Amino acid sequence: MAKTKNERLVSPRGIAVWPRLNEPDYKFKEEGEFSCRTKFDPADAAYAEFKAKLEKLRDEAFAKFCSENPKKKKTAKVVPVYRDELDDEGDETGMEIINFKMKHKVTAKKTGKVYKLKPTIMNAKRVILDPAPSVGGGSTVRVSFELFPYFNEKDKEFGLSFRLIAVQIIDLVEFGSRSNDRNDFDDEDGYDGEGAAPADDDEDSEDGESDSGDDGDSDF
């Protein structure tokens, strides 16, 4: 595929799903990988416009690919720019997910030098956060990224990959936070925090569980 200048875009607001923005994930990539899976509501007008633009850019890239590779035109399959979110039972939730990713270690082809990359994280006012807070699932974010067309020779699939650059946090939910636990309950008449009885001496106390380059600031 001929090398062209990559399109740089910013997503509308979405909800982060199991983001890996503070430390790279080495489970599937030896070089490490940062990621920000983000879910969007198809009924949201800003997302619908954004998705339509991605599909237009994908189709233009596919047309160019076919003109340069006419023998692959008949077998190549165009894949969606998103995937459907599934719940624990494997049923569609109605939300759509786009996965933005960045390699942590990149090796220069000419020199062999290894560079370490990390996404820029900023707040709603575009102030870069360093050190950054521990960004957890449920955070409302916008993502700056670059588009890369790809063709998977094995599966004969043509699509777009989304290279993560920076993340703007609109509403932070910190990783390991228990602040959302109260949403499981309704208000009741009863104990309001006053006059708590002391715990029995022989009762063990338990701590809650916790889990332990481009600035991109002009994109937002």
- pLDDT for res 6: 83
Statement: residue 195 has pLDDT above 50: no
How do the domains of the chain map onto residue ranges? 8-177
- Of all residues in the chain, the percent with pLDDT exceeding 70 is 79
- The predicted model gives 1-21 an average pLDDT of 86
- pLDDT for res 94: 97
At 203, the pLDDT band (50, 70, 90 cuts) reads very low
- The predicted model gives 198-219 an average pLDDT of 49
145 φ/ψ angles, rounded to the nearest 5 degrees: -155, 165
Statement: residue 211 has pLDDT above 50: no
Each residue of 24-72: pLDDT tens digit?
A: 999 988 999 999 999 999 999 999 999 999 999 999 999 999 999 999 9
- pLDDT for res 182: 58
- The predicted model gives 117-123 an average pLDDT of 97
**Burial bucket for residue 175 (CB in 10 Å: 0-12, 13-18, 19+):** buried
- The predicted model gives 81-104 an average pLDDT of 97
- pLDDT for res 206: 44
- pLDDT for res 82: 98
Asked whether 40 and 49 are in contact (CB, 8 A), the reply is no
In the numeric block, the tokens 């600031």 are attached to: 217
| Rounded Cα gap, residues 17 and 10, in angstroms | 18
| Rounded Cα gap, residues 57 and 160, in angstroms | 9
Superfamily of domain 8-177: Nucleic acid-binding proteins (2.40.50.140)
